[in-house]
Structure 1
Amino acid sequence: MQNGVLAGRTALVTGSVQGIGLAIAKSLAAEGARIGVHGLASAEQAAAAVAEIQDAGAPDARFFDADMRDPDAIDAMMEAVEHWGGVDILVNNAGIQKTGSIAELTRETWDMILAVNLSAAFFTMRRALPKMAERGYGRVVNIASVHGLVASKDKSPYVASKFGLVGMSRVAALEYASVGSREAGGVTVNCICPGWTETAIIEPQITARGEQLGVGRPEAIASLLAEKQPSLRTSRPDEIGQAIVWLASPIAHNITGISLPIDGGWTAQ
């Protein structure tokens, strides 16, 4: 967009020191938003992410450190962001995954994935949404997954957390739907549900598939995606970011409670 549509707004993007979260933060920064950066990172990694986001156009960026498994740490982070100026745009992107059958996965794995992927979003939203309502403008975008809409084997805690995130977002959308006005922007809550996305996380799978078939990277990607994603194309992280810029823009005041798949037709099957 590059129109400065988010100038004067402050965004907090969890899990934004790399991957999709960093791309989202840079997309919001390019539209003039201040960015609260968050993630598990060394001081050097955090500083590098902040610098990259400022270079993308953020008038200000600050790193916030919170363990998303810990509700008290999340409360402390949200308090610090409120003192910094308050959250106008909240993007819950932090997430983890571990695969395994229901019989194999441990209670500790279940608790950890649900805590980071679902409960953490509840704890950020419960602090951010009332303040957004007071201001008459707010945007919550929760990064769910295609697995918030359809299931796959060996991902029970991940799928449960993402289905839960979609459901919780719909409840919040209803609770805040009448807040504000077209002129103020209103308060909306939506989900993005990505399918296969071009991040470092999937590189080992691409490499392994290429070696298995004896083919190059494009052919390996097409083979990998053929199992689920009809387009046979991955999405770029910045494409996810641009979708969030649109949802955060004033024009999207009446778009709330949706779960937007960016999945190359996966969930259309």
Structure 2
Amino acid sequence: MSKARTAIVTGSTSGIGLGIARALAADGCNVVVNSFTDSKEDHALADGIAREFHVTAAYIQADMSKGEECRRLVEETAERFGAVDILVNNAGIQHVEAVETFPTEKWNAIIAINLSSAFHTIAAAVPHMKRQGKGRIVNISSAHGLRASPFKSAYIAAKHGVVGLTKTVALELADDHVTCNAICPGYVLTPLVEAQIPDQMAAHNMDRETVVREVMLARQPIREFATVEQIGAATVFLCSDNAALITGTTLSVDGGWTAR
């Protein structure tokens, strides 16, 4: 029996990251879940994944706004599990405001967490993957990594940067059997997005179905939210042997948003 692979998923105690961690665990991977909070609930979450999927799972705290902690996350995983086979860069934050009033501290935080953290984790993981002779890197970008919207300057700059970083890393590692790809979701139904719906209903005086279709998903020809399970399944595929020749590309899961 082949040894189970070890996967790191940053920002994975809720939402898309948790969906990806669960999908990889269901595929037989040992999983490291991550956030900056280091609570009892975080560790219990990892324990629950281990019990449910019969894998080894651990929670490792790291503040993804700090480069040295990003790198420590990778090194601690390698020390505890003996390998870093899969790296999924998912951690992200958002702030919406016009560029002329966009707070500098918000810009710096978004670039650090949404973009620079991926650079640091990749830089730390690559030597391990090269020694192992293979590896998978999946960066969670966004439809906003391929298209722009107003009032999201830092987020869009970061997500475009993630796409560029993905292509560069793929080229550098092409001879090392390490692939690097980006997934670009549209709107995904997470607890964070679900919490926005009542406010949108009130602001537009619409019922839930109408505000979802006509406001939140107006750009998506298929006016349905993606699910965290679908993003998880896309990640599992990109980490599979069948995806060995897929590298340096973006996989849009956006209901046709970027086809326009």
The alignment's TM-score, normalised by the length of structure 2, stands at 0.94
1:52 CA displacement: 3.2
**How do 1:188-267 residues align onto structure 2 when only pairs under 5 Å count?**
188-212=179-203, 215-267=206-258
Matched, 1:268 2:255: no
**How do 1:15-164 residues align onto structure 2 when only pairs under 5 Å count?**
15-84=11-80, 85-164=82-161
What SS does the corresponding residue of 2:53 show, helix, strand or coil?
Answer: coil
1:87 CA displacement: 1.1
Alpha-carbon distance change, 67 to 58 in structure 1, aligned in 2, over 3 angstroms: farther
Match of 1:174 in 2: 171
Alpha-carbon distance change, 258 to 86 in structure 1, aligned in 2, over 3 angstroms: same
Aligned length: 259
What letter is aligned with 2:73? M
**Which segment is superposed worse, 203-212 or 161-170?**
203-212
Match of 1:183 in 2: none
**Which of 159, 174, 178 is equivalent to 1:187?**
178
1:50 CA displacement: 0.7
- Inter-partner Cα distance in structure 2 for 1:177 and 1:239: 27
- Inter-partner Cα distance in structure 2 for 1:172 and 1:117: 17
What SS does the corresponding residue of 2:180 show, helix, strand or coil?
Answer: strand
What SS does the corresponding residue of 1:244 show, helix, strand or coil?
Answer: helix
- Inter-partner Cα distance in structure 1 for 2:53 and 2:215: 35
What letter is aligned with 1:52? G
- Inter-partner Cα distance in structure 2 for 1:21 and 1:68: 14
What letter is aligned with 2:190? T
- Map Cα deviations across residues 166-189 of structure 1 (whole Å, 9 max, x no partner): 00110000011122xxxxxx2100
What SS does the corresponding residue of 1:178 show, helix, strand or coil?
Answer: helix
Mark the runs of 5 or more structure 2 residues left unpaired by the alignment: none
Mark the runs of 5 or more structure 1 residues left unpaired by the alignment: 180-185
1:137 CA displacement: 1.4
- Map Cα deviations across residues 241-263 of structure 1 (whole Å, 9 max, x no partner): 00000010111100001111100
CA contact (8 A) 1:117 1:161 kept: yes
1:202 CA displacement: 1.3
What SS does the corresponding residue of 1:25 show, helix, strand or coil?
Answer: helix
- Inter-partner Cα distance in structure 2 for 1:76 and 1:213: 46
What letter is aligned with 2:84? V
Tell me how large the CA RMSD over aligned residues is: 1.7
- Map Cα deviations across residues 196-232 of structure 1 (whole Å, 9 max, x no partner): 1001111233212333455543333112234211111
The alignment's TM-score, normalised by the length of structure 1, stands at 0.91
What letter is aligned with 1:168? L
**Which segment is superposed worse, 206-215 or 249-258?**
206-215
**Which segment is superposed worse, 92-101 or 209-218?**
209-218
Match of 1:182 in 2: none
- Inter-partner Cα distance in structure 2 for 1:112 and 1:212: 29
CA contact (8 A) 2:187 2:217 kept: no
CA contact (8 A) 1:101 1:154 kept: yes
- Inter-partner Cα distance in structure 2 for 1:228 and 1:78: 37
1:62 CA displacement: 0.7
CA contact (8 A) 1:39 1:65 kept: yes
- Inter-partner Cα distance in structure 2 for 1:263 and 1:58: 32
